[in-house]
Amino acid sequence: MKSRRSEGKILRFLLKQIIRMAVLLFLVSAAAFFLVSVSPIDPLKVNVGQVALGSMSQEQIAKLSEYWGTNLPPAERFLSWAGDFLKGDMGTSLLYRQPVSHVIGMKLSNSLWLMAVSWLVSGGIGFALGTLAGANKGKAVDKVISAYALITASTPAFWLALVFLMVFAVWLKMLPIGLSVPIGMEAAEVTLKDRVVHGILPCLTLSITGMSNILLHTRGKMIQVMESDYVLFARARGESKSRIVFRHGIRNILLPALTLQLASVSEIFGGSVLVEQVFSYPGLGQAAVTAGLGGDIPLLLGITVISAAIVFTGNFIANVLYGVVDPRMRKGRKVA
Amino acid sequence: MEEKKTVLSVKNLSVSFTQYERWIKRTTLLAVKDVSLTVREGELVAVVGSSGSGKSLLAHGVLGILPYNAAWSGEISYYGEKLTEKRMGQLRGKEIVLVPQSVSYLDPLMKAGAQIRNGKRDQGSMGESLKTLKRYGLDETVEKLYPFELSGGMTRRILISTAVMEKPKLVIADEPTPGLHLEAAKRVLSHFREMADEGAGVLLITHDLELALEVADRIVVFYAGTSVEEASASDFRDERLLRHPYSKALYMAMPDHGFCAAPGAQPYIKDRPSGCPYAPRCERREAKCLEKVDYVSLAGGMVRCVKAEEG
């Protein structure tokens, strides 16, 4: 009886989340479509070329415009795109002359591991440093770590990327200057090591800029915990400071930190757009910029929807995790 | 009868805080001033005073867990041994234990059992914690509960269990009864009485004089950060046996003795007069009450009043 009721609850929860996601994706794609349709970039001009377009007659242009559907009202175009999207057809990229799903799959596989590594590194190191700083509030180690966090928090990702390029690629010549594989090499010859070496600088940039958020948050939470009654009582019971940090501190700050890090997927995503641009890294971010500048609406919309879905998934996991891990929420729901 | 050993002796303890006023002016706030008391084996001594009178700081001072911006002076001895911060660190949680006030002193994300055993997982501790829980009328299911699932009474008994587990020689209970109905509060206090009867020294910090009188051997009355009187519990049967005007006022304020509150309020420690802190409210105040007033022995107790001997 009880389990059936909780099963119903889970189903309702999932259904709610799915509806939420659908609404979100609809609104995001509509907004993106609206922005593209008011953009001054003329898809015909971009795709055919200024000169070629100039040499065409008015009838030819009108015919082409009709063929591509650029003369239709925006709402109609959006609905026809959305209808095809629901059927699984994301359209054809104007720039790559390939199905959008194909392009996104390829770019995403380049980007995804980059973002995943940056997300893990910034999360792990940020959490560790934040714990260390918070447990030693006011001491030298805290001041150094806090200063570092504040500086990186106010450093633009693209600027840091340029500095790294200059130092490691231009001056020291230790790492490649860009792209994801060596220039002029056949795809079959590219080794894993090549890929890793090309990913180091973008990863480093993303990790460093993504770290300050979780670091400062963890530090604040840790300070709060160290000033709590239960830590005072732990001290009164003779627990050493390191024991307090590991036994009570981390237990109480891990969950909020994890939630924050999952919710910050969007920031890593946003950062990757800039960083990939600087390093000419052929990932999803760079494809988005190219699509935007080139008036490649199907590709741009496809990327927008996929990114929104990934970010939503991060938040969704954070939501679920809280309910599963925190005994106050888990048991509280059972009682209710 | 054999003289009982003194477990805790506090002499002239003062606790001060360093503060910054408007960021630049450094001031020292004397929160606890010139407090003396002793606790002997098998004895339950209650420190009674209203909120903000510095009672909890006394407890934290003895345990060596004052906040970082606090400094203390005076002498704290344990079985005749003068305590240093380092020695306090070795004793606390083992021979000297604290029983705190409320559920907020338990880790919200740790099960009760683990907190009672303080992380120990061996067979002996498991048995011991179960025995302790049984003693206080709780069973093993409580071990699996998180603090938010505990009732007020269960929380107190678990906090007491954490103390009893260590077989302490000195128990410091900081306000163990607020939020409990009378029966539950009495039961909690009776547990402290049991600990004393088993030979430990118990220092009970409370604002509830009536409840304290039911279990305590001696009462130390706190007012505005200092001790104004030490009396045996039996002295509180008769107003004339009490030594300090504030204790007499407390006596008069009890429901059975007229329920009559003295006018005025306890001064904030910053505005405390230099002599007797009660002087501004005292009907029998004289000029010399505003000078330094010593804490002296009188009729088997202690008092800080220049006119006490006149009765």
Residue spans of the domains in chain A: they are: 18-86, 109-335
Mean pLDDT, to the nearest integer, of A117-127? 93
Residue B12 pLDDT > 60: yes
Nearest to B75 by CA among B17, B18, B35: B35
Q: How confident is the model at residue B168 (pLDDT cuts 50, 70, 90)?
A: very high
Q: Looking at the complex, report in whole angstroms how far the Cα of residue A227 sits from the nearest Cα belonging to chain B.
A: 9
A328, B89: Cβ pair inside 8 Å? no
Q: What percent of chain A has pLDDT over 90?
A: 22
CA distance A127 to A132: 9
- How many residue pairs bridge chain A and chain B with CB atoms within 8 Å of each other? 62
Buried b (16+ CB within 10 A) or exposed e, A135-174: bbbeeeebeebbebbeebeeeebbebbeebbeebbeeeee
pLDDT band of A82, cuts 50, 70, 90: confident
A170-197 average pLDDT score:
74
pLDDT of residue B146: 92
Q: What is the distance in angstroms between the Cα of B252 and the nearest Cα belonging to chain A? A: 35
Give the per-residue pLDDT at B41. Answer: 93
Listed range (A164-178, A296-310, A320-334, B136-150) with the worst mean pLDDT = A320-334
DSSP notation for A15-65: HHHHHHHHHHHHHHHHHHHHHHHHSS--HHHHHH-HHHHHHS-HHHHHHHH
Closest to B233 (Cα-Cα) out of B77, B48, B86: B48
Which amino acid, A94? L
Does the pLDDT of residue B189 top 60, yes or no? yes
Q: Which of B3, B5, B57 is nearest to B31 (CA)?
A: B57
Angstrom distance (rounded) from CA B202 to CA B172: 6
Query: Highest mean pLDDT: which of A230-234, A310-314, B299-303?
Result: A230-234
C-alpha span between A311 and A319 (Å, rounded): 13
Look at the alpha carbons of B231, B233, B238, B239 in this order and tell me if their dihedral is positive or negative.
positive
Identify whether the C-beta of residue B216 lies closer than 8 Å to the C-beta of residue B232: no
Residues B195 and A282: their CA atoms lie apart, in Å, by 73
Q: Where are the beta strands (DSSP E) in B200-286?
A: 201-206, 218-223, 226-232
Is B110 in contact with A235 (Cβ distance < 8 A)?
no
Query: What is the per-residue pLDDT for A127?
Result: 95
Q: What is the mean pLDDT of chain B?
A: 87
Residue A336 confidence (pLDDT) above 80: no
For residue range B114-129, what is the model confidence (pLDDT) as tens digits? 999 987 888 888 888 8
Answer for the pair A97, A89: CB distance below 8 angstroms, yes or no.
Answer: no
Q: Which residues of A touch B165 (CB under 8 A)?
A: none
Q: Cβ contacts (< 8 Å) between A251 and chain B: which residues?
A: 107, 109-110
Q: Which residues of A touch B (CB under 8 A)?
A: 228-230, 232-239, 243, 247-248, 251-252, 326-328, 331-332
Q: Is the pLDDT of residue A72 over 80?
A: no
Nearest to B110 among A235, A251, A326 (CB): A251
Distance from CA of A235 to the nearest CA of B (A): 7
Per the CB < 8 Å rule, is A236 touching B63?
Answer: yes
Task: Supply the DSSP string of A178-197, one letter for each residue.
Answer: SSSS-TT--GGG--HHHHHH
Neighbouring C-alpha atoms within 13 Å toward the C-beta of B142: 22
Rg of the Cα trace of chain A?
Answer: 25
Give the helix/strand (H/E) hosting B51: none
Q: Which amino acid is at B120?
A: K
Pick the closest to residue B277 from B21, B31, B96 (CA basis).
B31
Q: How confident is the model at residue B166 (pLDDT cuts 50, 70, 90)?
A: confident
Instruction: Please report which confidence band the pLDDT of residue A5 belongs to, taking 50, 70 and 90 as the band edges.
Output: low
The residue in chain B having the minimum alpha-carbon distance to the alpha carbon of residue A230 is B105
Distance (Å) of CA B109 to CA A171, A234, A327, B10, B182: 51, 14, 7, 37, 30
**Is residue A51 pLDDT above 80, yes or no?**
no
Backbone dihedral region of B199: left (phi > 0), alpha (psi from -120 to 50 degrees) or beta? Answer: left
ipTM value greater than 0.85: yes
> What would the pLDDT profile of A208-225 be if each residue is shown by its tens digit?
988 999 999 999 999 999
CATH of domain A109-335: 1.10.3720.10
Summary mean pLDDT of chain A: 84
Chain A residues within 8 A of B105 when measuring between CB atoms: 229-230, 232-233
In DSSP terms, B47 is beta-bridged to B205, B220
pLDDT of residue A332: 62
Which tens digits make up the pLDDT trace of B42-74?
A: 999 999 988 877 888 999 999 999 988 888 999
CA–CA gap between residue A70 and residue A296 (Å, rounded)? 12
Distance CA A280, CA A299 (A): 18
Say if the Cβ atoms of B98 and A327 lie within 8 Å. no
Q: Which among A226, A228, A230 is the top mutation candidate for probing chain B, defined by the most B β-carbons within 10 Å of its own β-carbon?
A: A230
Place B200 in a pLDDT band, splitting at 50, 70 and 90.
very high
Letter for the amino acid at A191? T
Residue A1: band (very low, low, confident or very high) from pLDDT cuts 50, 70, 90:
very low
Contacts of A232 in chain B (CB under 8 A): 65, 100, 105
Lowest mean pLDDT among A58-62, A137-141, B15-19, B42-46: A58-62
Bigger pLDDT: A167 vs A293: A167
Consecutive H or E run containing A228: none
What is residue B311's predicted lDDT score, i.e. its pLDDT? 56
Residue among B278, B133, B172 at smallest CA distance from A236? B172
Inspect the interface and report whether the beta carbons of B104 and A327 lie closer than 8 Å. no
Please check the confidence at residue B83 and state whether its pLDDT lies above 70: yes
Which of A236, A248, A331 lies closest to B92 in CB terms?
A236
Model pLDDT for residues B124-152, shown as the tens digit of each residue? 888 888 888 988 888 889 999 999 999 88
β-sheet bridge partners, residue B298: B301
Q: What is the pLDDT averaged over residues B79-91?
A: 91
Q: Do residues A118 and A265 make contact, with C-beta atoms less than 8 angstroms apart?
A: no
Asked if A232's CB is within 8 angstroms of B107's CB, the reply is no
Q: What is the pLDDT of residue B2?
A: 57
Task: Convert the pLDDT of each residue in A280-294 to its tens digit.
Answer: 888 888 888 888 887
Chain B residues whose CB is inside 8 A of the A239 CB are 93, 118
Chain B nearest-CA residue for A138: B68
- Asked whether the predicted pLDDT for residue A261 surpasses 60, the reply is yes
More confident residue, A263 or B44: B44
- Give the strands of the sheet with B170-174, arranged side by side: B96-99, B170-174, B201-206, B44-48, B218-223, B226-232, B301-303, B296-298
Of all residues in chain A, the one with the smallest CA distance to B63 is A236
Whole-number pLDDT of residue B172: 95
DSSP character at residue B298 = E
Which residues in A lie closer than 8 A to residue B108 (C-beta atoms)? 230, 252, 328
| SS3 at position A80 | helix
Closest CA to B105 of A104, A202, A248: A248
Which of these, B150, B126, B152, lies nearest to B140 by C-alpha position?
A: B126
Minimal C-alpha gap between A139 and chain B (Å): 12
Helix axes A265-278, A100-135, angle to 10 degrees: 110
Locus of tokens 């231009």: A170
In chain B, residues with a C-beta closer than 8 Å to the C-beta of A248 are: 107, 110
Contact A229 B97 (CB under 8 A): no
User: Structural domains in chain B?
Assistant: 6-95+169-177+203-310 (3.40.50.300)
* Residues shown for chain B: 311
Looking up tokens 């009886």, which residue turns up?
A1
A270-281 mean pLDDT? 84
Query: Would you give the distance in Å from CA A230 to the centre of its chain?
Result: 37
Give the rounded percent of residues in chain B with a pLDDT score beyond 90.
35
Q: CA A136 to CA B246: how far, in whole Å? A: 44
Of the candidates B35, B36, B45, B42, the one whose C-alpha atom is nearest the C-alpha of residue B5 is: B42
Q: Collect all residues of chain A within an 8 Å Cβ-Cβ radius of residue B109.
A: 251-252, 326-327
- Eight-class DSSP state of B104: G
Q: Where do we find the tokens 């002997």?
A: B40
A326 neighbourhood in chain B, CB within 8 Å: 109
